[in-house]
Structure 1
Amino acid sequence: MRIVGGRHRGRPLSCPEGNIARPTQDRTRESLFNILLQGDVSKGLLPSGTARLLVDQHVLDVFAGTGALGLEALSRGARKVTFIEKAPESLAALRENVKSLREQVATHVIAADVLAPPKATEACSLILMDAPYNQGLSDPAIAALDRAGWIAPTALIAAEAEAKETLTAPPDFELVDTRKYGKARIFFFLRTEAV
């Protein structure tokens, strides 16, 4: 596993042994960030496209695992990433990856359950979510994060699920795109102040 683009391109990432974590595959991650930087999943609701939801922004990576999604976001121009993860083995790998990339200043690792997150100090415009497959955690996690103030009034959620899973748009969000990559599917939910 490695960073696939940006200033840390090619740098390896640590992953816990066994079935503790299921990091997003390199190819899926590359496709996701190409969409975020170049594609338009906003249906014209964001005049300058989606890149402004990543570049120079505070990104939230939940069910963070090894931190691959959030560290990819930093590599590709995010200003700051906050990670929320509760599994000790994944937290150890995440902290090792942050240190290896020397991104301690631009990151904040929170050891907590995404379903009961601490209050946010700053809302995020991009939420990267890779919940365990087929456990129904995405909807309650989004609701909990929103209640805690983590999701900005204009925000994009990129939620990975197993390819056969169906995720529905949370209240005040619109499902603007889905993309399938092998065994994974990414759902893009957008909320704007105008929606």
Structure 2
Amino acid sequence: MRIVAGEFRGRRLVEVGKGDEGAHLRPTTDRVREALMGTLSGGRYGDPFEGAHVLDLFAGTGALGLEALSRGASHVTFVDDGRIAQTLIRQNVAALQVTERVRLLTRSALKLPPTDDPAHLVFLDPPYGKGLGAKALASAEAGGWLASESLIVWEESAPQEPPPGFILIEHRSYGDTVVTLLQAP
């Protein structure tokens, strides 16, 4: 797994290793990440990365948030309650030497604390088929994590309906991954 483009292009990221299979991590493949990031930076959404504050919910290895940093985001908050995921995120942040540009919340994405620093871009990659995405968005909204009209990138195995107040932009399919793009209220 590598960073696809930007400042850290080609840099390898630490992945789930032998013995870590029980963590149930499902990192976004390089191919899907490349297509997704190309879609986001293709002009239709302006430049969602430049100077953005990013929230990466169910962050796993941190690949999506780190890709955003590589493309110009100023800060990423990673949220994951899994110990293996937290270790992988810390290792990847250290490898890219971006410690000062990230924050890791070691807690459930369903129980976010309040913030005064809302995100402009949100990656939401919950375990597929468990109904956790909408709950995580509700937690983010309640805690002030979503900037007005922030862009939300929601990965699942099927198209997702936007929660009340959110606007559906489009669905994109990448093999068995469906990305639902939303705009926050």
User: TM-score band, normalised by the shorter chain?
Assistant: over 0.9
What is the alpha-carbon distance in structure 1 between the residues aligned to residue 115 and residue 96 of structure 2?
25
Indicate conservation of the 8 Å contact 1:179/1:187, yes or no.
Answer: yes
Instruction: State the distance in 1 between where 2:106 and 2:15 align.
Output: 17
Q: Is the 8 A contact 1:127 1:155 kept in 2?
A: yes
Q: Flag the 1:10–1:19 CA change in 2: closer, same or farther, 3 A.
A: farther
How many residue pairs align between the two structures?
181
Normalization by structure 2: what TM-score? 0.94
Q: Which residue of 1 aligns with 2:180?
A: 187
The RMSD of aligned alpha carbons is: 1.2
- Alignment of 1:12 onto 2:7: no
The match for 2:39 is 35
CA distance in 2, matches of 1:24, 1:143: 23
Could you tell me whether the CA contact under 8 Å between 2:78 and 2:105 is conserved in 1?
yes
Match of 1:77 among 60, 72, 79: 72
1:6-43 Cα distance to aligned partner (Å, 9 max, x none): 11011111122325211001111111111111142xxx
Percentage of identical aligned residues: 38
* 23, 29, 39: which one aligns with 1:25: 29
CA distance in structure 2 between the partners assigned to 1:183 and 1:28 by the alignment: 10
Q: Give unmatched runs, 5+ long, in structure 1.
A: 41-48
In 1: Cα distance, 2:133 partner to 2:54 partner: 17
Segments of 4+ in structure 1 off by > 6 A?
A: none
Q: Which amino acid is 2:178 matched to?
A: R
Distance between the aligned counterparts of 2:90 and 2:116, measured in 1? 21
- Return the alpha-carbon distance in structure 2 between the equivalents of residues 123 and 137 of structure 1: 21
- Gaps of at least 5 residues in structure 2 are none
Q: TM-score, normalised by structure 1?
A: 0.89
